[in-house]
Amino acid sequence: MTKPFKRILFTGAGGNLGRRLREHLHAFADVVRLADVADIGPAGPGEEVVQCDLADREQVMRMCEGVDAILHFGGVSTEVEFAPIMQANILGMVNLYEAVHKLGIRRVVFASSNHTMGMYQTSERVDAAMPTRADGYYGLSKVWGENLSRYYWDRFGIETVCLRIGFCFPEPATHRQMVTWLSLDDLLELLRRSLLTPRVGHTIAFGVSDNPGRWWDDHHSRHLAFLAKDSSAQFPDKPSEQFAYPDPSDLTTFLQGGVFVTTGPKYPS
Ligand code: 15L
């Protein structure tokens, strides 16, 4: 069967999501180029492996050569001190989009994060047109990525779908994780639609399954026609009394970002 792309690039292949997604990406392309800053071992059939530091522009240029589309999951994926976030998520995004522009690549799917909006209250319903309210340097770096990709759309017509991914691990263990859970199958369907929908321009979508009590309203990305099939309702309910009346003195339950909202700023003296 003909696949939609000849070669796609998947960055962050050694990360939590990278390891889980790897085997499923072959449906999209004849060749999947897997990239990570770490050594991820040898390529399997239909794969290429590239070790790449996103902060190094020459390495990024080489990593992007000859690909038709990019799934960008690379970079720092949690709240840490600013220096590594700056290298991988701020400078790394500039290097990536410069390479994308110079090489004529037309579409990127960017793994953004719900932490772009983490300072909204858990009682609020949030959509993609509302102002970003990041909950730390990590969330701010994802806001940067979303804005940078919007600029490359406005200026150069490079299409990007930014996915504000929720909690994408096999099983939610807290109420917050139940509300923000994204199943692997739903993520794969989101990737498929993000890659294959004919015109996406610059789209911001929330990566979340059809969970009870969702905080995120996705009507701004309706053109992707994504309908989540899974729901955290399949897991035993976790105690949620404190969420019925979130306590303003406990920011990790009062605000959507959970523990991220109190982790930072990590600025070494
Ligand atoms: C994220 O952006 C992180 O990359 C992931 O590890 C989770 O912590 C997730 O957010 C979350 O909000 O649970």
Q: For 72-108, what is each residue's pLDDT tens digit? A: 999 999 999 999 999 999 999 999 999 999 999 999 9
Average pLDDT in the 146-161 region? Answer: 98
Domain boundaries, the chain: 5-261
Look at the pTM and tell me if it is higher than 0.95.
Answer: yes
Average pLDDT in the 227-234 region? Answer: 97
CA of residue 78 to ligand 1 center, whole Å? 7
Q: Which residues contact 42 (CB under 8 A, 6 or more apart)?
A: 49
> Domain spanning 5-261 has what CATH number?
3.40.50.720
* Residues paired with 8 in a beta bridge: 32, 69
Give yes or no for residue 215 CB within 6 A of ligand 1.
no
- For a pocket test of ligand 1, which of 115, 137, 255 has the largest count of ligand atoms closer than 8 A to its C-beta? 115
Distance of alpha carbon 53 from alpha carbon 132, whole angstroms: 28
